[in-house]
Chains A and B, each alone.
Chain A
Amino acid sequence: MALGYTIGVAWVPHQDGGILGMMMAALLWFVLSLISYFSGDSILLSMSGAKEVNRHVHPQLFNVVEEMKIAANLPVMPRIYIIDSPAPNAFATGRNPEKSAIAVTAGLLSMLNRDELQGVIAHEMSHVINRDVLYMTFAGVLLGSIVILSESFWRSQYYSASSRRYRSSSRDNSQAQAVMMVVAIVFAILAPILARLFYFSLSRRREYLADASAVRLTRYPEGLASALEKISRPDIQLANANRVTASMYIINPLKASSRNMVNAFSTHPPVEERIKILRSMMKGANYKQYAEAFSKVKGNASLMPSSALADSESVPLRPSTASAEDPRSSKQKARDLGDLMRVLNNYLFISCACGLVIKIPMDFNRKVLTCPRCQREHDPRSARPAPARVSPG
């Protein structure tokens, strides 16, 4: 607002200019807020190329989300999306718990076991119940409009530099306006930087909080810890992520190399530190235990005000689930996941008598299809939208 005011005064040589600039800032913030409040989730989901899935496409993912929904006592099931990307990552969106969505990448599903997947989903679910999506959308929009405003100020300075000199030199208030101009320039430089600093520090805090809530939900810190360890390793960046959407993900989707560095401009705390905090939670799973572990790892810094730690009941940890290991080989797992992504991309399937499952893309338009292994001929019209698989009873 202050930024809007000074820029307005500098633009128009009158008191009204300040009001005008302020109103412009307010209007911009308001409009952007409205847009992202009502359609932010669908924009984000379509930007990342996510596809909605149901129970039958990936029963385990669906079950894990439902488990966390029950643990969090959410009124409705969040929608579930899968992103066709080998980079392991996940994010949550939606303006309130009733209208939430959780998206995970195919890479994440192929890499994690059941307990680890549960940890990640719990982290995302915590973003939903803590209303971080709302928080970060508004903070993001505030940051965005400050950046746009100061940017447009610079542009306008560039274009109107010559005309302004003639117009205002003879006026009485030219001196005052020059002062305001200097102030506006200073604001235009400082405001975006300060806004960014504020935004990123808020984002990091919310990540720690989501980790704490995730442990509260699963009672099993090791699941999230080893998931973070696994997904921070590969050097793959998510193609469809950008600076604006970065804070929504479980780990920073950009700059895989700097995931462990901490600086004032990172959206996520260093992964190593998050793992260390989770692993030093030995006694219990409530917020107090997390805050203690946090202080132990970070020196004397404290994460949450003590008023947020009201749930001082003891919450016992639980052992790992025995049947968490997937008996499928990693090759079979990757193959199943490939089939899954083809189902999502509207491929059709024909099971040939030789045992090969032929995958047909949507735009296949020849009359006869020969099996590449045994040369049998098939009619593409007999293809089915799912590979032959045993459905759960």
Chain B
Amino acid sequence: MLALLIFLGGLLMVVFYVINTYNALVGLRNQVKNAWSQIDVQLKRRHDLIPNLIETAKGYMKHERDTLEAIVNARSQAMSSQSIGDKAKAEGLLSDAVSKFFVAVENYPDLKANQNFLALQEELTSTENKIAFARQAYNDQALFFNNKIEMFPSNIVAGILNFTKQEFFEIQEAERAAPKVQF
């Protein structure tokens, strides 16, 4: 009788543990998804801002056709990419193009004095930052989730219930390197 009770108690504890872990994992996965949707929102915002920016800058920057075209191309490429890996790569290229553009802007004092352009620049700078921070938050969440899936004993539950690891949103090497100053 006692043995049966102990057995039932143990079984109950295991069941509770599985339910608990499952719920925790689902919660974590939703947080990862939420963090990813944050990145998505900001990427879309950047795509929306760029046409305005080009429109404002076009009149001033007649000699920077290449820079402007590079942004437009990178934008359309980024908008058409699908998987997380592709997207990260295309968006990295777009970030590069935008930062090259802002370096070029330094040579156009008229453009820099334009109120409309300043407002757009602030918006775009902030959107770039938000993308970086959203990526940071996403990677933190994904790491936490992946750790949970791999670590004992939650890995048993995750394995049975088919939780898979989340892909990181990696940055391109070119973007990560700080700009070099040459003398």
Contacts and interface: CB of A to CB of B under 8 A. Distances in A.
A64 B137 contact: no
B103 interface: yes
Interface string B86-97: 000000000000
Interface stretch (B10-18, B127-135, B159-167): B127-135
Given A73-B35, A322-B102, A63 B123 contact: yes
Given A73-B141, A321-B129, A393-B52, A327 B102 contact: no
Given A60-B126, A63-B123, 8 more contacts: A63-B130, A71-B134, A322-B99, A390-B119, A392-B116, A392-B120, A393-B52, A393-B123
Interface in A57-84: 59-60, 63-64, 66-68, 70-73
B154 interface: no
Contacts of B155: none
Contacts of A321: 125, 128-129
Contact of B130 (A70, A114, A219): A70
B115 A318 contact: no
Given A60-B122, A72-B137, A319-B178, A67 B116 contact: no
Given A59-B122, A390-B116, A392-B120, A323 B132 contact: no
A146 to B, nearest CB: 40
B103 A322 contact: yes
Interface of A: 59-60, 63-64, 66-68, 70-73, 114, 118, 217, 219, 313, 316, 318-319, 321-323, 327, 389-393
17 contacts: A64-B126, A66-B130, A67-B126, A67-B133, A70-B42, A70-B133, A73-B137, A114-B125, A316-B176, A321-B129, A327-B118, A391-B119, A392-B120, A393-B52, A393-B56, A393-B119, A393-B123
A114 B122 CA distance: 10
Nearest to A122: B133
A219 B126 CA distance: 16
Nearest to A285: B136
Contacts of A66: 126, 130
A189 B65 CA distance: 77
Contact of A63 (B49, B122, B134, B143): B122
B121 interface: yes
A393 B122 contact: no
A313 B141 CA distance: 12
Contacts of A59: 119, 122-123
Nearest to B48: A393
B67 interface: no
B120 A393 contact: yes
